Structure 1
Amino acid sequence: MTPAPRPTPAQLRAAKNKTVPDVIAPGLRVLFCGINPGLYTAAIGHHFGRPGNRFWPTLHAAGFTSRLLDPSEELELLPLGYGITNVVARATVGADELAKKEIIAGGEILSAKVREFAPQYLAILGIGAYRTAFAQLKATVGLQPDAIGGTRVWVLPNPSGLNAHYQGKDLVKLFRQLRDAAR
């Protein structure tokens, strides 16, 4: 599989506020939920697309996939029982550009989506986004006490390469705990 060519600076600028289609279907085992797409991801049209984002390598190392998938192969997650969405749909340079009210509104949209598609687990990749979107200011990483309908909520660290709080092996360990629970 040959990855898509890197977007040009003009393509990155043009990606601001674009959206990336959800990878979703009814009854998934896990619906992974990013905070919002970055410009690189929006420019190529595939989730967690920026080189250096640790989502795809972590997913593979934790045992969700049998091989390392390229972001362009994201639809291969659906037959495995996994999908991807975001708390906020619009692309920004960084999640720090999102207003608190936008994240809260995104949480409401996400809740409706989860009720409609009913995954076994919703895995929110970013504790700050979860705390803000769902008014759970003391939430920690892992399984949450609250559910959305029949869907259990699991919070994982943001896999962005910018998240220096978690090293690769730590991300793999935390993602593997979810994988084991969702079998």
Structure 2
Amino acid sequence: MLFCGINPSLYSAATGHHFARPGNRFWPALHRGGFTSRQLAPAEQHELLTAGLGITNLVARATARADELHPDELAAGAERLTEKARQHRPRWVAVVGVTAYRIGFGRPKAALGRQPETVAGAGLWVLPNPSGLNAHYTVTTLAAAFAELRAATLVPSPLSRRSRAAES
């Protein structure tokens, strides 16, 4: 699974870690959604690889708000994401932010959830933006969206991997 955020916040750019701004709900939602065995801190993002997860952004330019990005930047980011998916071959790509997805991929009516198209052969899913600025979602509702993704894509939880290994 490759998670793709919109772009780094100024705080994330300063720290060098994805979803690093205090109040961002990505890390709690990722854990509560069943992707990690514990809640990781942004500085522990390298541990995602051991769970078979990756993380990137559509746009590298840091901004205070994602709505500061130009549509051309998002479209170019979608092209870069496609190339990353072609190179790294994840089974699934999850874009975190429906508005950025709509603009970047030219899908103005796209909804959250599984998308009918793929990204370089990888299944495609759109999640809500976990930024604290997105007041429509709580940690609980974000976690439910992440859990739906995990269940639909059959990504085993870290606990189930350990249980199967112990049985072997």
Q: Which of 102, 114, 129 is residue 131 of structure 1 equivalent to?
A: 102
Q: Which of 85, 88, 99 is residue 70 of structure 2 equivalent to?
A: 99
Question: What percent of counterpart residues are identical?
Answer: 56
Q: Which of 11, 23, 28 is residue 57 of structure 1 equivalent to?
A: 28
Alpha-carbon distance in 1 for matches of 2:22, 2:119:
32
RMSD between superposed Cα atoms in Å = 0.9
Q: Which amino acid aligns with 2:43?
A: S
Does the Cα contact within 8 Å between 1:120 and 1:182 map onto a contact in 2?
no
Does the Cα contact within 8 Å between 2:30 and 2:146 map onto a contact in 1?
yes
1:41 aligns with 2:4: no
* Paired residue secondary structure (1:161): coil
The equivalent residue for 1:121 is: 92
Does the Cα contact within 8 Å between 2:4 and 2:57 map onto a contact in 1?
yes
The equivalent residue for 2:154 is: 182
Alpha-carbon distance in 2 for matches of 1:157, 1:182:
20
The equivalent residue for 1:31 is: 2
Q: CA deviation at 1:176?
A: 0.3
Trace 1:2-21 onto structure 2 (pairs within 5 A): none
* Paired residue secondary structure (2:45): helix
Alpha-carbon distance in 2 for matches of 1:41, 1:70:
12
Gaps of 5+ in 2: 156-168
Does the Cα contact within 8 Å between 1:40 and 1:50 map onto a contact in 2?
yes
Q: Which amino acid aligns with 1:88?
A: V
Runs of 4+ in 1 over 2 A off after TM superposition: none
Does the Cα contact within 8 Å between 2:31 and 2:38 map onto a contact in 1?
yes
Q: CA deviation at 1:97?
A: 1.3
Q: Which amino acid aligns with 1:151?
A: A
Q: CA deviation at 1:182?
A: 3.5
Alpha-carbon distance in 2 for matches of 1:150, 1:101:
24
Does the Cα contact within 8 Å between 2:83 and 2:120 map onto a contact in 1?
no
The equivalent residue for 2:143 is: 172
Give the structure-2-normalised TM-score. Answer: 0.89
Does the Cα contact within 8 Å between 1:31 and 1:83 map onto a contact in 2?
yes
Q: Which amino acid aligns with 2:75?
A: I
Q: Which amino acid aligns with 1:51?
A: P
Q: Which amino acid aligns with 2:40?
A: L
Alpha-carbon distance in 2 for matches of 1:37, 1:117:
21
Alpha-carbon distance in 2 for matches of 1:168, 1:47:
17
Give the structure-1-normalised TM-score. Answer: 0.82
